[in-house]
Amino acid sequence: MEKKANILTENIIFLVLNIVFLMILVIFLFSKTGSAVVLEEKYAKQIALIIDSAKPGMTIHLNMKDAIKIADKENKDLNNIISIQDNVVHVQLREKGGYSYSFFNDIEFFVHLNTSSLEEYIILTGDYN
């Protein structure tokens, strides 16, 4: 009888520890889902894909309300969230860090924050002077 109770206790402890571990894992995943690191990677890849399919003379509007909100909380200069140099898109929502992603299109790009709404970035392609 004592042996059966011992096995039951071991199984209960095992189950409780597994449940605690899974809860910690779920909490960690939910906390990282909307974080700056994930948004930096997401926007860098999306912008690179959009730029690869862009043609000269296009105007691209990017709704980045959630990224701008995070950058504002981090006291990051909103005009410098996105930069494009040497066929690489760099998105930085925090002072330290950022994410870079390369693209293949070799036309000129100019990136700036839409100052009228402060919720979107505008990418101009081609010769805009």
Q: Contact, 63 vs 120, CB < 8 A?
A: yes
27 and 65 share one domain: no
Summarize the chain as % helix, strand, coil (round to 5): 45, 20, 30
Each residue's pLDDT tens digit, 21-59? 999 999 888 777 768 888 899 999 999 999 999 999 899
pLDDT band for position 61 (cuts 50, 70, 90): very high
Q: How many CB atoms lie within 10 A of CB 3?
A: 7
- Parent domain of 18: 1-33
pTM over 0.75: no
CA distance 108 to 121: 16
Q: Contact, 62 vs 120, CB < 8 A?
A: yes
82 and 119 share one domain: yes
Q: How many domains does the chain have?
A: 2
105 and 69 share one domain: yes
pLDDT band for position 2 (cuts 50, 70, 90): low
